[in-house]
Amino acid sequence: MTTNIFTPNPSEKDIDPSLNEITEHGNSLFPFAVHFTTHDSQRKFMIHTHWHREMEILYISQGQMEVLIEGNHLIAKEGDLLFIPPNLLHGAINYQQSPCSFFAIVFDSFFIESHSSDLIQQSYLDPIIKYPAQHIVHATSDIPNIALLRSYIVTLVDTFALKKQQFELSLKANMLLFFRELYLEKETLFHYDQHQEIRSDMTSYKCKKVLLFIEENYKNHISLEDISQHIGFSQEHFCRFFKKNFRLSFFTYLNKMRIMKAEYLLLNTSLKIIDVAFESGFEDANYFATVFKKEIGLTPSAYRKKPNDITLL
């Protein structure tokens, strides 16, 4: 598959304070897009945590990463496929210091939905939209039809890239065939639990509330007491909840978030280093420089002169 013709995943500026990705994938008449992203082994956040109304398929073409979807932690390796239903909070972090390259096929459910509530709509599409957490998919080499699933992904990517005559029909047809294969292995791939959706909704709400608080307050001092009270947990309960859902301690995550903000400011503004530190939420410029060097491997001033690619999610 050719990769240099695809745009990467949208940048951090395309995520609003509620963590909703506001980028349009395709357009209202054809809501379908393919992105290709590659990150080296030093990249901490492979996909910045966000959610969107569209469905998404991730295909790992090289390397591996840890994908987080509504509190589910999935180690996605080369050749794996992940299906993310709409409106679910998801992201990805580095796994075992491995580089990772992946395709993201993002499409609105309108792209495959029926215009009327027919048998196909009721049996196959409505359940995914109504119970998204039950339809999170991680397809690995252990799945009997994984080769066929991969072939549909390759066809989707190549068809989108080449855009031959009537390619839109081919994309829709292959997408429906992809869903057919998912349903053929539904007992393995889907997770039917009448209580899971309620638990997932509450976890998603709490996670989004935490991330929104961070986004709105990262420039200020945030104590463990502040964030715990905001979520309605004791400090001990909050620490366990955050570590389980984000695989990092709260303050480690907060510092990584602040460093990402600092990276953007270093590359896109002429602010002095001390002002970058303050704007990113660090109260001490020396501490900022120490944390930045530990996370990025360069001092802030050296990074500004020799930037890495920091705008990809």
Give the helix, strand, coil percentages of the chain, each rounded to 5.
45, 20, 35
Query: How does DSSP classify residue 29?
Result: S
Q: What is the pLDDT of residues 262-296, one digit of tens each?
A: 988 998 899 999 999 999 999 999 999 999 998 88
pLDDT per residue rounded down to tens, the chain (313 residues): 555 567 777 666 677 767 788 888 888 889 999 999 999 988 888 888 888 999 999 999 999 999 999 878 899 999 999 999 998 989 998 999 999 999 999 999 989 988 777 888 999 999 998 888 889 999 999 999 999 999 999 999 999 999 999 999 999 999 999 999 999 999 999 976 555 555 566 677 788 888 889 888 999 999 999 999 998 899 999 999 998 888 789 999 899 889 988 988 998 899 999 999 999 999 999 999 999 998 888 999 999 987 554 433 3
pLDDT at residue 116 in the model: 76
Query: Can you list the domains of the chain with their CATH numbers?
Result: 12-189 (2.60.120.280), 217-305 (1.10.10.60)
In angstroms, the CA 251 to CA 91 distance is 18
Contact in structure between 182 and 137 (CB atoms under 8 Å): yes
What is the DSSP code (8-state) at residue 123? I
